[in-house]
Amino acid sequence: MDTKKALTVIIILLLLMNITLGIYLIVINSGRGNFEDTISYTRTILDNRNYKLDCNIPEETIPLSAVQLGENRFTEQSLESVMEKTGGSAYIDDTGVMYYINSGNGTLAPAGTSRIAIEFVASEFLSSIGINREEFVLDYYRETGNESYNLKYVAVDENDILYFNSYVEMQITVEGVQSARIMYPDTEIIHENQGEGIPVYTILLAGLKQTSLEKTIESISSGYYSSGNGIVTANICWRIRFSDGQERFFDAATGKEIK
């Protein structure tokens, strides 16, 4: 093949590559436009139903999977150790949840009222009772007035999937952790990669009916959840949390609300 023919072939190949790339970009942009239209439509419908969105609507679908939740790792036998390390009192209720109450001896007091100081005290408390802080993420942080703060930590796995049934809720003041509510179950994955779940915008439209009082959606997250106690199966779901603290959970496979 002479130089002229070789150059012609190269030019044709480059043209074909450009055409293919152009078609690909058109398809991608078209799909993106359709998604943005869907989200805009979803926001409009929710607004008409008196729901305001103060967060983004996740674009991705989530793989369907399930885990088995065991009993709380904190048992009656471990209460003495918790009380010794924190200087407070603790008990476990009939559902297996452990409650901690500051009895006056006090936990570590924050060095000021900055968010960094408050979160540091929370992390120290978790470590003191034997919880690996790296296994949890801060789910919410709220100032409740009078230098009092409510924090909630939720367990997360190596794939950044949340475990809504594994949590630590605590109230912190300038004197340290005043109370805590803790559920820390053993977990085991029993089903994974069972296809894709329902997009959350579909669940929002189907699950959130007209409300007389305006409600603001604060966050939309995915993770494992079960409404049962003891040894139960928790399916992957979507959690809708409102600014008033209410949380609603919807099964990602069926779209039905978990109550």
Task: List pLDDT tens digits, range 47-94.
Answer: 999 999 999 999 888 899 999 999 889 888 888 888 888 888 999 999
Residue 229 confidence (pLDDT) above 90: no
Rounded to whole angstroms, the Cα distance separating 203 from 238 reads 8
- DSSP per-residue letters across the chain: --HHHHHHHHHHHHHHHHHHHHHHHHHHHHHHHHHHHHHHHHHHHHHHTTEEE-SPPP-S--B--EEEEEEES--GGGHHHHHHHHSSEEEE-TTS-EEEE--SS--PPPSSSSHHHHHHHHHHHHHHTT--GGGEEEEEEEEEETTEEEEEEEEE-TT--EEEEEEEEEEEETTEEEEEEEE-EEEEEEE----B---HHHHHHHH----SS-EEEEEEEEEEE-S--SSEEEEEEEEEEETTS-EEEEETTT-PEE-
Band of residue 10 on the pLDDT scale cut at 50, 70, 90: low
Rounded to whole angstroms, the Cα distance separating 79 from 130 reads 12
Which domains, and CATH codes, for the chain?
Answer: 45-71+185-259 (2.40.128), 74-183 (3.30.310)
Share of the chain above pLDDT 70, in %: 86
Mean per-residue pLDDT of the chain: 85
Specify the pLDDT at position 103.
76
What pTM value is reported for the model? 0.81
Neighbours of 115 (CB within 10 A): 14
Over residues 107-146, the pLDDT tens digits come to 677 888 899 999 999 999 999 898 988 999 999 999 998 8
Over residues 27-58, the pLDDT tens digits come to 434 445 577 888 888 999 999 999 999 999 99
Band of residue 4 on the pLDDT scale cut at 50, 70, 90: low
Band of residue 194 on the pLDDT scale cut at 50, 70, 90: confident
Specify the pLDDT at position 106.
57
Share of the chain above pLDDT 90, in %: 55
Specify the pLDDT at position 116.
93
Band of residue 2 on the pLDDT scale cut at 50, 70, 90: low
Over residues 146-163, the pLDDT tens digits come to 899 999 999 998 888 999
Specify the pLDDT at position 26.
39
